[in-house]
Amino acid sequence: MSVVVDIDGTLIDISERLRAAMSLVLDRSVLLDDVRSMTTSQLYETYATEEQREHLPVLHERLWNLLLCEDELGFSLLRHDVPIPYAAEVLESWSTTNKVAYLTGRLDTTREDTLRQLEGFGFPVDNTELIMFERADYSGARVASVGPRLIDVRSKLFSAIARNGPVLMVVDDFPGYFEAYRRHDVPDLIGFRRFARRPVQSYIDNGATSVIGCWSELSNMQSPPP
Ligand SMILES: [Mg+2]
């Protein structure tokens, strides 16, 4: 039996890294509160100068490169990441009776750094799986209309996990991905909603069975029954 968890925004708070990347791209200091409450487009609208607005595709490309660590500088920004409270304790406890599968949009080129980071934050890594995206998986997201959509890649990777054995639970902070998870027979699809920019209803509408705001809400589910 496995438990599938997303990493960024679910186990690890990357808002400080996003703030640093956005500040680099826009060459000015972006506020953390804004990163947490605004979409990327809203951040550009709020912070980009008139001249930068004329080159938004170039800026956005640079942002992708930093966040996906396609730009070497992106790796050094990983130091801004922090673990989300209680997540490591809960996963550690679940991992004693179930297999933990990390399903992340991070690129496979960051595998070593990601494992090191997870381990450093106290997340279980032994006997776990780390399923990552390939560079080509982003071609559709980066250049609109060419290549796969991220939801399709996510769906394909999740289907592969589900084919290997029953999945008991999924925890993810992105509402849109529940559209893929709901197609499988998973008892608990849990939306992790830490910041207000995503309405609770958006998780439910996409198929989440419940929505939590803190991992401590799951700590009484010591370990889902195998
Ligand atoms: Mg996420």
Model confidence over 168-178: pLDDT tens digits?
Answer: 999 999 999 99
Q: Which is it for strands 82-83 and 210-212: parallel, antiparallel or unpaired?
A: unpaired
- Last residue of a domain, which of 80, 103, 129? 80
The reply to whether 61 falls in a domain is yes
Question: What is the pLDDT, as a whole number, of residue 197?
Answer: 80
Is residue 57 domain-shared with residue 90, that is, in the same domain?
no
pLDDT band at 224 (very low <50, low <70, confident <90, very high): low
Is residue 87 domain-shared with residue 168, that is, in the same domain?
yes
Q: The sheet that has 2-5: what strands, in order across it?
A: 129-133, 99-107, 2-5, 167-172, 188-192, 210-212
Question: Measured in angstroms, how far is the CA atom of residue 51 from the centroid of ligand 1?
Answer: 31
Model confidence over 48-73: pLDDT tens digits?
Answer: 999 999 999 999 999 999 999 999 99
Is residue 25 domain-shared with residue 129, that is, in the same domain?
no
Cα 218 from Cα 192, distance rounded (Å): 11
Question: Measured in angstroms, how far is the CA atom of residue 64 from the centroid of ligand 1?
Answer: 15
Question: What is the pLDDT, as a whole number, of residue 146?
Answer: 65
pLDDT band at 223 (very low <50, low <70, confident <90, very high): low
Is residue 49 domain-shared with residue 86, that is, in the same domain?
no
Is residue 111 domain-shared with residue 36, that is, in the same domain?
no
CATH number at residue 127: 3.40.50.1000
Q: What percent of the chain has pLDDT over 70?
A: 95
Cα 137 from Cα 106, distance rounded (Å): 11
The reply to whether 211 falls in a domain is yes
pLDDT at residue 187 above 90? yes
Is residue 95 domain-shared with residue 196, that is, in the same domain?
yes
Is residue 46 domain-shared with residue 67, that is, in the same domain?
yes
Cα 83 from Cα 204, distance rounded (Å): 25
Question: Measured in angstroms, how far is the CA atom of residue 2 from the centroid of ligand 1?
Answer: 19
The reply to whether 226 falls in a domain is no
The reply to whether 223 falls in a domain is no
Is residue 116 domain-shared with residue 165, that is, in the same domain?
yes
User: Which tokens sit at 190?
Assistant: 């849990």
Under 8 Å between Cβ of 44 and 59: yes
Model confidence over 10-31: pLDDT tens digits?
Answer: 999 999 999 999 999 999 999 9
- Last residue of a domain, which of 80, 99, 122? 80
Domain count, the chain: 2
Is residue 26 domain-shared with residue 114, that is, in the same domain?
no
User: Which tokens sit at 149?
Assistant: 């959509």
- Last residue of a domain, which of 57, 80, 103? 80
Domain that holds residue 27: 15-80
In DSSP terms, 167 is beta-bridged to 2
Instruction: Name the residue among 2, 7, 1 with its Cα closest to residue 123.
Output: 7
User: Which tokens sit at 34?
Assistant: 């804004």
The reply to whether 225 falls in a domain is no
pLDDT at residue 189 above 60? yes
Is residue 179 domain-shared with residue 190, that is, in the same domain?
yes
Question: What is the pLDDT, as a whole number, of residue 144?
Answer: 62
Is residue 159 domain-shared with residue 66, that is, in the same domain?
no
Contacts of residue 225, Cβ cutoff 8 Å, sequence gap at least 6: 97
The whole-number average pLDDT for the span 203-222 is: 90
The reply to whether 104 falls in a domain is yes
**What does R_g of the chain's alpha carbons equal in angstroms?**
17
Question: What is the pLDDT, as a whole number, of residue 109?
Answer: 97
Question: Measured in angstroms, how far is the CA atom of residue 68 from the centroid of ligand 1?
Answer: 13
Protein residues with C-beta less than 5 angstroms from the ion ligand 1: 6, 8-9, 173-174
